Structures are given as structure tokens and as C-alpha cells.
Structure 1
Amino acid sequence: MSLRKRQRSASSSRLATLSSPPSPPRAASSSASSPLLSFPKADLFLRLHLDPSPSPDDDDDCHPAPAPFLDLHVSSASLNRSRYFAALLSDRWCPPPSSSSSPAGRLSLAVPVSSPSCPRPFHAHVEVLRLLHTLDFAGTIRAPADALDLLPVALQLLFDACVEACIRFLEAVPWSVDEEARVLDIAPLLPADEAADLLARVSLPPTAASVAAAAARSPSEAMLHGLIHSAIHGHPVPAATKAFVAMLLKDYPSRDCVHKVLDEAFLSRLDTVKELMGKYASPDFRIAVDSDEREAIQKLNLHSAVLNVKHLLWLIERMVDMRVADNAVKLWSEQVALAADLQKLLTDADMWRNMAPGLPMLVTRCTLRLANSVVIGETLVSRQVRMKLVRSWLPVLNVCRDIAQPMHSGYKSTNCQELEETFLQIISTLPVQDAQELLQQCLGFSTRSVDDCQHLVAAFKTWFRRAARAPQGGED
């Protein structure tokens, strides 16, 4: 093993570079004694070295200390996912092979100095290089700071897939004030069409976005579909069965297959709930000859609705945990009619309290789980879907807040107020004009004392700060 390391070290010192400037000497780096970072199927050496721009006051006779560097063993096939590296490795730029040189090549990449005190100057470049090899964007980009660190490097290397993933994540999640400032700094570096949705959140001119459609069914989905059906319907020990099916879904190798099966099950349960609530709200049931018969039918419908909303909540939990809840959020955001039927039911206090007392809490939990997954970036959806989600279910939240007053305080504190805060977070991700419309409908959140509605105060302060800012990315 030591012989192999010595051979690799000796070989790397003899490799010629494909870039014109020679690599700095290894002895100049604090990383000289550290092991070489290697990626799978590596066939190239890449040296990252700091490239501080010289000061005009520097003396030409004064030789600065060698800049730190980091050597990596990388795969040329993976690097070709970057248009920068693809051009660098093309036949046009590669020198002809010589018999005296090693068959493996060496590349050199200058890393700008972001801050002299930065403890990890190569971190963002290494992460982007790792993404070139793995394409694991969902596992790497988990916070706005991650996307903002990776995006400049992805732009530098013309790594289009990474740029798209960073922009999509940033567009879909809330930002802190500092993160918003970083977005404003980097937006001019982006193409106008890609920066439009980001700028729409911090300045007045809004733009539209597009959506894609879904696919067909495969035979392997039948087993998963049957397992979900068994977990939902009539098993003697439903809790244990659901836990087991949830484990199988999580461990199943094809996420696309699981996505389709859960989408189908969610749509089926949602259609059943809509049908049952539609029967309750239908005037045909109001003119039944026998009022006792009408009450019995309504009781049966409401009990069935409660059961199906419980199944719906279980499906939502699975979809959110597996990060495949995008279609569920979109469908839930379009349920204007269902939300209206629920409002009719909730205004009839005697009916739902006697027949379905748990229904408001279950519906609120479904909305909260989906909305919270959007806020923390587990589920990425377009701004149109985020806006419709708040617009469709905000009236139901307002009704639930009113009926929660005579109920125990636990329901209100753990559901309604948390959903208020989540909706306000989603509103903060919308363009200024859209946020203005929805915030005006949230004034009911202030019915408690001012000290109890700081989330609403913060939301309005954020909106006023953005509305006062000069337009970005265009003419005044």
C-alpha cells in the first residue's frame, strides 16, 4: 500500500498540466501532507489553487508566498457535464499525447479568494465537483445558504444542471434578510429568464412560470398499489400494517414508481373526500322527505369523510417523508370547491360537533403538513401553486380559528397558529404584488393581543421593506 502511494505521488509530480500556467509547488500548500481526494472512476488530476488578485502597491521584486492548493483525483466523464470542462477536455484544446508524459492528465483551476479569513476556501468548488460526479442535488442543497454557496461556482464552470437546481431551490423557499441580499448580488450574473422568478420576490414586476405533466403506469406498481390499499382498508391491525408499508415504500429502489403509486392513492382518497363533502353540501340532501333519514345519511357521509381524511393524512406523511409530495401540494392547492364545502360544514356547529368532531383538526393537519414541507424546502413547487395553496385554504383556516375559541386550547395552539405562521412564510416567497393581496386577508391573525401575533408583524415589515425597494433587473 505504501509503495502504491509513493508511485502515485511520484507520478503526480511528473504530470503535465492542460492549462497554460504551471501548478504551484506542492510544498507551498498546507495540504501537501493531506491525502489526495479521489472520486469514483477517476482518471484525471485537478489542482484547485487560490488566485488572489495582486495589489497595485505590491513591489515587483517582492515574491509573494505560494498560494494554498488542493489536489483532487477526478473523472473526466463526470467533468464533461460541465461545459467549461467539456471544452477544456475537447480535442481542440488537449495537447497531443507524448511518449514521455503520463497517460493521465492534469488540470489546474484558479479559485477566487472570497475572504482572507475563510477557513475552507475550496469547499464550494469541491462540493460542485462532487455534484458533477453524483448529481445528488436534493441531498446536497438543503438550505438557501447551500444554494448560494454553490451557485457562483456552478456559473463559473457552466454546470447548467447545478445552476438550475440552485435557482429552483432558492425560488421555492423563504430567505433571511442576509440571504436576500446575497440573492440580489448574484441575480445580475444569471440569465434574465432564470433570474426573473427570483427578482419577482424582491421587486414589483412579476413573471409567469411553466408546469410539466405526468407519466404512465408500469406493472411493478401493482404490488405497491395493493400494499397501500391493504394498509388503508380493513386490516385487523391498521397501525402496524401502515408502519410496515411505510418502511417498504421508503426502501423501494425506484422513487419514480413510488411517486406514481402514492400520487394515484392520494388522488383516489381526495376524490372520495370531495364526493362525501359534496353530498353534505348538496341541496338535494336538504329536501329529503324524512329528516331522520337525512340526518342518518349525513352522519354516515361525515364519518366516512373523517376516515378518508385520516387515510389522506397518512399518505401525505409518506409523500413528504420521501420528498415526492409535489403533485399532492398542487392538487391540494386547487381544492377551492372542497374548501368551500368544508366552510359550509364548519359553520353548522351542531352538525360537525355531534357527527365529526375531529374533522377540522384533521383537515388543518393535512394542510399544515403540506404547507410546512413547502416552507422548509422538502417539496418544491412553483410560485403559482404556493399562492393557490394559501388562497384556497386561508378561508378554512379563518373559520377553524373562530370555532377553536370554545374548544380546548391545545387544538388552537398546535394547529391553527402554526398554520398561520406557515402561510405567512409561504407568502414571503411570493412576488410583492401577490404577497400584498394575501397579506390583507391575514388580518384576522391579529385578533389576539399584539404580543401574540409577532409572526404577522414580521410578515408586514418584510413586505414593506421589499415594496419600498427600487425595481431590480429592468428599467425604472
Structure 2
Amino acid sequence: MRGPQYHGYRERRRARRLALSLPWYTGRSSGSSSRSGEDDEQQPGVNGGSGKMMHLDGVRNNSQNMTVMEMGTGPRFGDDLTSDVVLHLKSASGEREDEEGVPEIVSTLYLHSSALRKSEFFEARLSERWSSNAAAGCSSNNNPLQVGNNNVVELTIDKCKDPQTYIRCIQLLYVPNRVKHTCFVDIQDALNILEVAAELLFHDCVVACMRYLESVPWPPGQESVIRSCVSNLHLQPSEDLRARLCEPEGIHDVKPVDIMQGVLGELLTLVTNGAPSKAREITERVLLANVQSSTSSAFANVNEVVLFKELQGNLEILKVQLRKFANFFSWNGHQLNVACSALRWILDELFTLHIADEAVRMFSEEKELAQLMVLRIYQNPFTETLFFILVRMLQALQKGEVLSPRSVRLTLLTTWLPVVAKLGNDNDSFGHEETQKNLEDGLGAVVETLPMVDQEIIFRIWIGACLKSRRSWPDLSEAFELWCNKLRQAHRETDLEKATIEVLERGESSCSEAWSKRKLKFVTLK
């Protein structure tokens, strides 16, 4: 006859087998069974319906999950010696079926009603009124099993698409609320458990999933997945998660476009004040992303607003310093150089984004800036930048990158041609030969886009401002000769038209006389 030591050994072996079959087993020994109440390291048990265990793949730090589960003072998940509920998980139809085509049990869990009642789903099925009326997909045994001193109720959940996720979610019934959010592996794991928790009406787990999702970093593309999951489950996201998903209720009357405008404005101010190249690169990427085809046109409008605001601001800074320079007052050379550099960069961005039309109009109307440029010519610090801007605008008009109205083209030339002539003719050391050539070509090309009557205005300015100087620069003689030829051609066409009209009039008069004579002859004969 075997003594009590043999039975204790058998129970320890049984607990050891249960521990080895668990997916989170870390290799520690079990000690005595939970029935003795002396083993603090007992491992929970989960039995598969086919004799094999369902392993949870990719679970991170599962030993930590077990430690968390053991923080509670209540029953342990999977303890078949104290459980009063046996839950069978069946696979979805068509996935795993027996010979008769009935979905087979893929996992059997030994649970406790005190933990299951935290879920409204299980609370309803464990109630006395539900025990007498088994529902579809979850049935209660009319003759509970007798294990020790406990009545064991058998329940079944059908159509489990992912039994592993159901097991993970049910495990969280045993985890204290304050640490539930630490049991998730990653975002996808939290979303999977969220779906099951919503189905089981396990509200504490839903809250823990929301808390996890609102706090951890999201890999690229995960935001749309999270939004879709929460929406499909008809769940109300937490306030912080809603705000992070940019839902209207979460940002309290602040539009994403307004947020972008404020942030982009700060970036532009930083860049135009001489920030390092990294800030400029980031700003350029944001500007380009705002005009992508997949982005709302409202963000493209944000680019225009902030860029033109910064352009106007730097023009004002420039004029302030030029006033001091022109009047021989103390002026800030560094600030003026920063403004010149900012104007060049802003103009490049406007042309890159194909929104430079307004910049051309603004510059054509800068009468005050044009006057400041000719008050003090020598060593003017803005001359080089001015010519760079003019060359860029004239080339854009010449190539059709910018389609400005006739009035804007005319105003641009009438405003800046006298300034260009003054700066270029009175300062022999001005500019590079390439810059001067580009200016001449651009001015001549834009002049040719104007009607002949507007060209007359430009050429009168050119004759008065350029030809009387020694250098006679810029040289628009080619465009001027072409205009003169057009005048002669127009005169010849006018003369030809007049001659044609006279011939027609004479011919009509001759026909009338001949007709009158013929009519008179006819009357006489009659």
C-alpha cells in the first residue's frame, strides 16, 4: 500500500506537466499542487481539445505576464483544482472540424466564475436564469460536473476565429486593472484583444486597450488601422486616443489646417532667420508634402499663406535697412544679409511649388523699394539679390512657368527697368557678365509679350534711361528693331486695307452707274 508521500509526488508531477504545456512556461519548477495552498509558483493549465496545447506565438516577455497575473489575491487562471467553470473554445466553421463536420474543440480552459463575472457576456451566461435557457453559441451543462466540493459549469464559445486571442483576453480577467495595460505585446496584439474584449463585453479590458493605444508610438500606417478597428467595433475611443486620431471631437474646435499653418509659420520664421540646413530641409519636405495629390487642397493654401506672409515680412525688413543705408544712418548689415538670403530661398520655394504668380505681382508694385535702390547706388548690399530676383522672375515669364496678366508684366517692367539701368550704368563693377546677359534676355523676351502700344511705353523708358549713358545697358536693341518692323508692317497693312476699300468703293460706284444706264435704256425702248 502506497503512503501519502507517493500521492504528493504524483500531484507534483501532474502540476509539472501542466506547466510544461503552457506557452509562457519559463522553466521554473512548480512545487506542490494548488490544492495544498502552499505553492506560490504554481503554473496555470490550458488543455487543448485534441490533446495538444494552443501556443501563443510572438508573445513578448510572457514571464512578466505570469508575474502580473500572480499579483492578485484571487484564483489563478487555469487552476483546474479550484475552477468552477470549464470553457470550451470551438473553431470557426470550416477551419477545424471532426469527421461529422462539427467544429471541434480547440482549447479547454479551467476558469472561475468570480473572474468571469467581470465580463457582461459571461455574467449573463452564468446567471441562474441563463443556465436554464442555453443560448446559441454558448451552452450550459444541465448536470454540472462534481469536482471536489465545487459544481463545475461547462460553457462553450463557438466560431472562435483566433482561439489564442480569446485565451489572451480571458487571461486578463485575472489581471488587476492597474496593470492590464502592461500585458500587451504590440499594437496589433492590443487591437486583436480589443476586438475580443468588445465581443465579450469586457469593459475593463477595452479601457486598458485604449490606454495602451493612446500611449505607445505608432509605426507608419498604423493610425488608419487603429481608426478602422475602433470604428468597426462601434466603440467610443478615449479622449486622448480620439485627439491623437485627429477626430473632430478630440481637438476641440481646432482644425488640422490651422495647426499646420501655425507650425509651418514657426518653421519658416526659423529658416528665414538663418537656421541650420537641417531646419531648412525639414521645412522643404513639409511644403512639398502639403501639395501632394493625396493631400487636401486646404494644405496647399496653407503653403501660400505662410510663404507670402514671410515674403512680405522680409521685404519690410529689407526696406527698413535700405532706408538707413540710403540716408547714411547706422544700418544692420547682418540683418539685411539674412533678409536677402531669405528672399532668395522663399522665391525658390514659390517657383518650386508653382505658386509664384502673386510674388511677381507683389514685386512689380514695390515702388518704394525701387526708389530706395537708386538713392544710394555704390556698395548697395541688396543689388546682387535684386538682380537675382529679377532674373528668376523674367525667366519664369519667358518660359511660361508663371502666367501673369498683361498689366502685371507691364508694371514689372516700368517699375524695375529704370532701376536696372541706373544700377548697371552708374556702377561699372556691378554684377557678373552672366547675370547681365540673363537680365537683357529676360527683359527683351517679356517686352515682346506685350501689345505694341505697351511696348512703346517700355522703349521710351529704355531710350531715356539707357541710351544716354556710356554703357547703354541693358541692350534691348533687338527687341526694339523687331517692334519697329512691326510698326512698318502694321502701316503697310493699314495702307493696303485702305487701298482695298477704295478699290471696292470705286467698283461699287461703277456698277451702280452701269446699272443706271442699263435701266434708262430699257425704259427708252419700252
TM-score tier (shorter): 0.3 to 0.5
Instruction: State TM-score, norm by structure 2.
Output: 0.40
Instruction: State TM-score, norm by structure 1.
Output: 0.44
Greater C-alpha Rg: 2
